[in-house]
Chains A and B, each alone.
Chain A
Amino acid sequence: MLWFILRRCGSAVLVLFLSSVLIFLGIRALPGDPASVMAGQEASPAAIEAIRKEFGLDKPLPAQYLDYVGQTLTGNFGRSTQDQLPVADILAERLPVTLELSLLAMLVAIVVGVGAGIVAAVRRGKFADYVATGFGLAGLSVPHFWLGLLGILLFAVTWRVLPASGYVPFTEDPAGNLQRMILPALVLGTGFAAILMRQTRSAMLGALSADYVRTARSKGLSEAKVVGAHALRNSLTTVVTVLGLQLGALISGAVVTEQIFVIPGFGKLTVDAVLTRNYPVIQAVVLVTVIGYVLVNLLVDIAYAFLNPRIRLSGGSRD
């Protein structure tokens, strides 16, 4: 087990290294002279030159990369070119917002998706199955930014029961915070609920027809116990895997959701930073995202190995 974890950690470090190179080169491939963009519309050539020096943009690429890695490892992400605030502070402000949104969306996805998946599998071929399956397909097919627009149209414009957008920190106004987060979390959670529902249903169906479940049934265990204790437990691996794989999609989804509902989170920060060529922020944001993704997948791998010992023995990954 230890060997397995070490190996996965090693490959995670490799992925991080490759990503950092990619981020570094990718940002430098963006069009436009960063120094001149940072200096703004009214800047003189001398001001642009000064900024180029300040950010080390006049050095050769390998030197710039070493600077970047060195600064990152010491936790110094520099200052945002937009407002001169330290990037680390900005990250600390924005991350919790997106984490809250993502957790709420996950909660929606797990409650609705896993619940519907179980019901559909248990009541296979019955009315409830069709409803759940239909919901799953619809959830997969509807673009969630459209769902967001419809949500605003109905709840904020027509019925005026929820605020259209904006954000209040939970610590300042818990009720206001949740009021503003309901719609975004539902919108973001729907797609994942659909995916989870489909995966849970198919995993449950597999488990319900497996030998050990049949044995359990023949021993006279109650249906609830069969479903709960045996089938569901074995379907958990599926849920864990899907959650890990969907993390990237969740972040992309958060970008759009935050854009529609004007939530000052990580996703909006990312898009704004790219659009304004805020290099220190882009570098930090993408790196943090990649680290988050790699870490979560590492945890998923380990959790997976615990839930399903065969993986560990064969030493394989989820490829």
Chain B
Amino acid sequence: MRPSPKVVAALVTLPLALAACGGGGTSNTPAAPSSIASASADHRPVKNGGTLNIALNADPDALDPSISTTLVGREVFANMCEKLYDIDASSTLIPQLAAAMPELSDGGRAVTIKLREGVKFNDGTALDAEAVKKSLDRHRTWEKSARQADLAAVSKVEVVDPATVKLTLTQPFTPLTAQLADRAGMIMSPKALDSEGDNFGAAPVCAGPFKFAGRTSGSQIVLEKSADYYDAAKVKLDKLVYKIIVDPNVRAANLKSGDVQVADQLATNTVAGVQSDPNLTVVSGGGLGYYGFQINIGNASGSTEKPGPIDTPLGKSPELREAFELALDRDAINKAVYNGLHEVDCYPVPLDSPYRPKDLTCPKRDLAKAKQLVQASGVPTPIPVTLATPNDAVNQRLAQVIQSMTKEAGFNVSVQTAEFVSVLEQGKAGKFDVLLSGWSGRVDPDGNLTNLVTTQGSNNYAGMSDPGIDDPIKQAAAETDTAKRAELYGSAMKKAAELRGVVYLYHNLYYLGMHKTVAGVQYFKDGLPRYVTAGFAA
């Protein structure tokens, strides 16, 4: 196999990142075993036809690009709903339904997008500027849309000619192209929108290599090859069948037994077993997102409300929060909980992001200093802390390791498990001390920061509010120069790291298990397997 540019990039940046991170003094285990290739684009010849059975790790929500909020939903969209823009193997933005990158004018306040010509929706109707306007307006103005924040900067969408749309912005907003490379840039068939209305998600029609063919609730989603796709000659498979298999061990077992040929998001404790099977292979993707925990420091009455004081030892004292973080050994956590398969870090942007300043460092475990800070705080030990945790096995394992590590520094963590949705609720409402939470990640750093760490951001469960965070992030969104943006994001992230509303632990890598007979799957940093060129090896 030729090393793809992505693999080379990963190999170059990884040691640097680990050195920067300190590694907690235990060892220099690479984030992923070297035998697992990261982002793949394999070029073996592929035969025509066949059904690919794919195991999904969760049940997607409504397949409506305007309201979908799940990562698994994006996995399905990636093969059914193309967007104005996309990312390639090196996370660079490229045109997809657009014919070229957007042209900026009026100091960045006007964005002109030329569309690819001759594109048809999967129901045979034409994808033109009118259709784009209808979809973008639905994304940004429909009251139930979850895309409103993504497109908040857009004040008007105009049809210039059938192949050109013009977006007017209230202020320059560089992350817009990245937003249009995600669900906010998915274009839906106006015909289907007219007939299905709010229930579009039950029978979605977009433009893409595969079209929606049916869904059995909680069990499977079927896509079929689209005859109307503009690049139909590239598409080899007849059918994709997504089977929802939540239990990671069962997912792995079904892959081994051949009931599915691809399994997404293998649990880290099943990766080795899949890898050792002679018929199977594992590729890694992802890394844009992060996982860690939030500490409630100002979320008194809801994350989108005005922040207020929090009367808990950790909420009141930055020193105790520092002690809490210093008690943790990120490398040991990665090993104990994730078999060492994630990328340890303490910042929200990916290790190889061009927006990441080179001078970011992570604290090592320092138990002596942690104990000293606890003692200096004068709070009687053990200091009680509750840790809200989703009730799946892996999160509980993480919670118990945090519990045991911080105990040594004088904290008494009680783990409180609840279903995932309840934990999110608690987070939004501010009803927690410490809460495990993560983010699936976006290509533009703005997507990993604005809603998550700025004042009254909807996912800023910690209730952080600091001009040292808010201002540079706002400035960076209007800035087009990469180096300047990196500097601004760097200063915001350093401030956030001092405040410790979010303590980042690692970037989650996704492991895709596949049968060796399956070729042509594209698996990038966003962790969404693309099957447009996939098929069974000839």
Please state if B202 and A79 are interface contacts (CB–CB under 8 Å): yes
Chain B residues within an 8 Å CB radius of A240: none
User: Chain B residues with Cβ under 8 A from A268's Cβ?
Assistant: 218
Kindly identify which residue among B59, B146, B247 contacts A43, using a CB–CB cutoff of 8 Å. B146
Which among B149, B217, B250 is the interface contact of A85 at CB below 8 angstroms?
B217
Chain B residues positioned under 8 Å from A85 (CB to CB): 202, 215, 217
B253's contact among A31, A45, A47, A164, by CB below 8 Å, is which? A164
Q: Which of B59-77 contact A (CB under 8 A)?
A: 59-64, 67, 69-70
B59 near A262 with CB under 8 A, answer no
Question: Are B245 and A47 neighbours in the complex by a CB distance under 8 Å?
Answer: no
The reply to whether the CB of B416 lies closer than 8 angstroms to some CB of chain A is: no
With both beta carbons as reference points, the residue of chain B lying nearest to A43 in the complex is identified as B146
Q: For residue A91, give the distance in angstroms from its CB to the closest CB of chain B.
A: 9
B219 located at the interface, meaning its Cβ lies under 8 Å from any Cβ of chain A in the complex: yes
A115 at the interface (CB under 8 A from B): no
A131 to B61, CA, bound (A): 51
A299 at the interface (CB under 8 A from B): no
Known: A82-B61, A83-B61, A90-B217. Is A165-B253 also a contact (CB below 8 A)?
A: yes
Return the chain A residue nearest B55 by Cβ: A166
Q: What's the least CB distance linking A211 to chain B, in Å?
A: 56
Inter-chain CA distance A83–B216, complex, in Å, is 10
CB-CB < 8 A to A39: which residues of B? 144, 146
Q: Is residue A49 contacting chain B, with contact meaning CB distance below 8 A?
A: yes
Instruction: Tell whether, in the assembled complex, residue A166 and residue B143 are in contact, meaning their CB atoms are under 8 Å apart.
Output: no
* Known A41-B459, A264-B216, A275-B419; contact A32-B425, beta-carbon cutoff 8 A: yes
Q: Produce 1/0 per residue, A11-46, CB < 8 A to B.
A: 000000000000000000001110011011111111
CA A145 to CA B70, docked complex, whole Å: 31
CB-contact partner of A45 in B201, B217, B304, under 8 A? B304
Contact of A37 among B146, B217, B421, B459 (CB under 8 A): B421
The residues of A that contact B199 with a CB separation of less than 8 Å are 79, 84
Tell me, yes or no, whether A93 is within 8 Å of chain B by CB.
yes
Instruction: Give A39 to B254 CA distance when docked, in angstroms.
Output: 32
When C-beta atoms are compared, the residue in chain B nearest to A180 turns out to be: B259
Q: For the complex, what is the distance from the CA of A15 to the CA of B215, rounded to whole Å?
A: 35
Interface string of A256-293 (1 = CB under 8 A from B): 00000010100011001001110000000000000000
Q: Would you give the shortest CB distance from A78 to chain B, in whole angstroms?
A: 11
- A262 with B421, Cβ < 8 A, contacts A41-B69, A47-B148, A165-B253 known: no
The reply on A63 being an interface residue by CB < 8 A is: no
Q: Measured between C-beta atoms, what is the minimum distance from A100 to chain B in Å? A: 15
Contact A32 B459, beta carbon cutoff 8 Å? no
| A80 CB-CB contact with B under 8 Å | yes
Q: Is A163 engaged at the interface, CB distance under 8 Å to the other chain?
A: yes
A51 at interface by CB-CB < 8 Å: yes
Verify if B353 is at the interface (C-beta below 8 Å from A).
Answer: no
In the complex, the answer to whether B459 meets A93 with C-beta atoms within 8 Å is no
Cα A276 to Cα B59 with chains together (Å): 11
Contact residues of B between 197 and 249, Cβ < 8 Å to A = 198-199, 201-202, 215-219, 245-247
Point out which of A163, A264, A268 has the most chain B C-beta atoms below 10 A from its C-beta: A264
Instruction: Return chain A residues, CB-CB under 8 Å to B254.
Output: 164-166
By a CB distance below 8 angstroms, the chain A residues around B250 are 164-166, 262
B425 surroundings in chain A (CB, below 8 A) = 31-33, 36-37
Interface centre among A42, A43, A167 (most CB of B within 10 A): A42
Q: Is the CB of A262 within 8 A of B247?
A: yes
Let me know if A156 is at the binding interface, CB within 8 A.
yes
Measured between alpha carbons, how far is A39 from B458 in the docked complex, in Å?
A: 13
Closest A residue to B431 by beta carbon equals A31
- A33 to B426 alpha-carbon distance, docked (Å): 11
Given known A-B contacts A42-B69, A165-B250, A275-B419, A83 and B146 have beta carbons under 8 A apart: no
Which residue of chain B is the closest to A272 with respect to CB atoms?
B218
**How far is it, in angstroms, between the C-alpha of A167 and the C-alpha of B60 when the chains are bound?**
19
- Cα distance, A166 to B250, chains bound together (Å): 8
When each residue 59-102 of chain B gets 1 if its CB lies under 8 Å from chain A and 0 otherwise, what string results? 11111100101100000000000000000000000000000000
With A and B bound together, what is the CA distance between A50 and B424 in angstroms?
20
Q: Among B146, B202, B259, which residue has its beta carbon within 8 angstroms of that of A40? A: B146
Tier of interface size on chain B: 35 or more
| A residues near B63, Cβ cutoff 8 Å | 83
Q: Are A83 and B458 in contact (CB under 8 A)?
A: no
B143 touches A49 (CB 8 A): yes
| B424–A47 CB distance below 8 A | no
Chain A contacts for B155, CB-based, 8 A: none
Q: Which residues of chain B come closer than 8 Å to A80, judged between CB atoms? A: 217
**SS class of chain B's interface: helix, strand, loop or mixed?**
loop
Bound complex: CA of A36 vs CA of B13, how far in Å? 41
Do the beta carbons of A42 and B458 come within 8 Å of each other? yes
- Select one of B62, B149, B219, B451 contacting A84, CB under 8 A: B62
- Is the Cβ of B458 less than 8 Å from the Cβ of A82? no
> Which A residues are in CB contact (< 8 Å) with B61?
40, 82-83
Q: Which residues of B contact A90 (CB under 8 A)?
A: 217-218
Question: What is the chain A residue whose CB lies nearest that of B302?
Answer: A45
Query: Contact between A43 and B143 (Cβ–Cβ < 8 Å)?
Result: no
Interface assignment of B34: CB less than 8 Å from any CB of chain A: no
Q: Given the complex, which residues of B lie within 8 Å of A37, measured CB to CB?
A: 421, 424-425
Let me know if B459 and A47 touch, CB within 8 A: no
Give residues 478-506 of B contacting A (CB, 8 Å). none
A47 B422 Cβ-Cβ under 8 A: no
Interface string of A62-94 (1 = CB under 8 A from B): 000000000000000001101111100110011
Chain B 416-430, CB within 8 Å of chain A: the 1/0 string? 000111101100100
Is residue B257 within 8 Å, beta carbon to beta carbon, of the partner chain?
yes
Interface residues in A223-282 by Cβ distance below 8 A to B read 262, 264, 268-269, 272, 275-277
B259 to chain A, nearest CB (A): 6
B contact residues around A49 at 8 Å (CB): 143
B145 at the A/B interface (Cβ < 8 Å)? yes
Known: A36-B425, A165-B250. A44 touches B149 (CB 8 A): yes
A82 to B149 alpha-carbon distance, docked (Å): 22
Question: Which residues of B in the span 101-154 have a Cβ within 8 Å of any Cβ on A?
Answer: 143-146, 148-149
Q: Produce 1/0 per residue, B36-69, CB < 8 A to A.
A: 0000000000000000000000011111100101
Which of A44, A54, A84, A275 lies at the interface centre, i.e. has the most chain B CB atoms within 10 A of its CB? Answer: A84
Q: Please, which residues of chain A bring their CB within 8 A of the CB of B420?
A: 275
Known: A41-B69, A84-B201. A93 touches B143 (CB 8 A): no
A93 to B220, alpha carbons, bound, how many Å?
A: 12
Check if B146 sits within 8 Å of A47, measured CB to CB: yes
- Tell me the bound Cα distance from A79 to B64 in angstroms: 14
**CA separation between A277 and B425, bound complex, in Å?**
11
- Measured between beta carbons, the chain A residues less than 8 angstroms from B60 are 83
| Contact A47 to B217, CB < 8 A, known contacts A83-B61, A275-B421, A277-B421 | no
Given contacts A36-B428, A83-B217, contact A47 B69 (CB under 8 A): no
- Cα separation A45 to B424 with both chains bound (whole Å): 15
Query: Given the complex of chains A and B, what is the CA–CA distance between A164 and B59 in angstroms?
Result: 20
How far apart sit A156 and B257, CA to CA, in the bound complex (Å)?
Answer: 10
Which residues in B have their C-beta under 8 angstroms from that of A83? 59-63, 201-202, 215, 217-218
Q: A37-B421, A47-B146 are in contact. List 16 more A-B contacts (CB 8 A).
A: A31-B422, A32-B425, A36-B425, A40-B69, A82-B59, A82-B62, A83-B218, A84-B62, A93-B219, A164-B254, A164-B257, A165-B250, A262-B246, A264-B219, A275-B421, A277-B421
Give the top 7 A-B pairs by smallest Cβ distance, nearest first: A40-B69, A50-B143, A264-B219, A84-B202, A32-B425, A90-B217, A84-B201
6 residue pairs bridging A and B, Cβ less than 8 Å apart: A79-B199, A79-B202, A83-B62, A84-B202, A85-B215, A269-B218
Residues of A near any B CB (own CB < 8 A): 31-33, 36-37, 39-47, 49-51, 54, 79-80, 82-86, 89-90, 93-94, 156, 163-167, 262, 264, 268-269, 272, 275-277
